Amino acid sequence: MINKYIGSGITFPFKVNSDGRLDIVNDESLINSSIKNIVYWPKMHRFFNMKFGCRLEELLEEPDDNVGSTLASQFIFEAIETWEKRIKLTSIRVLDSTEALVNIQLTYIIRSTRSEHTMVFPFYKTITF
């Protein structure tokens, strides 16, 4: 059953199923996709909505220290609080980092169901092949 407050929709990047149609997702997978879309989209790069996105790309060449971790947490918090109203962030933690990769853990509560979820996503500081 689809939660009417969370909704259902397509994700970006688009995924095509075996029928040749776009996949429709709902519930937590839709929220996770939305969070990734917000965090990975650079601010000032979306046509017709230049405020959308996150400032995380500003940290690409910054050192891996407490200041960078704090800034990353603040940028993510501001972006998600602005663009994803279905959740309430409870914590943002920078788990580990290398020169090329920073793992970030988000813990959030879905407002309509009051269920707590955690997701870890990688932020790549360099292009890896």
**Residue 16 confidence (pLDDT):** 86
Q: What is the mean pLDDT of the chain?
A: 86
Radius of gyration from C-alpha coordinates of the chain: 16
Class for domain 8-124, per CATH? alpha beta
Residue 62: what pLDDT?
Answer: 79
Q: Give 90 or 8, the one with higher predicted confidence.
A: 90
Give the ranges where 41-117 is alpha helix by DSSP (H): 66-83
Q: What pLDDT is attached to residue 128? A: 64
What is the model's pLDDT at position 90?
Answer: 96
Q: Which residue reads 């688009």 in tokens?
A: 14
* Tokens found for residue 69: 């971790």
Question: What one-letter code names the amino acid at 18?
Answer: S
pTM, whole model, 2 decimals? 0.84
pLDDT of the residue at 3: 67
Q: Where are the domains of the chain?
A: 8-124
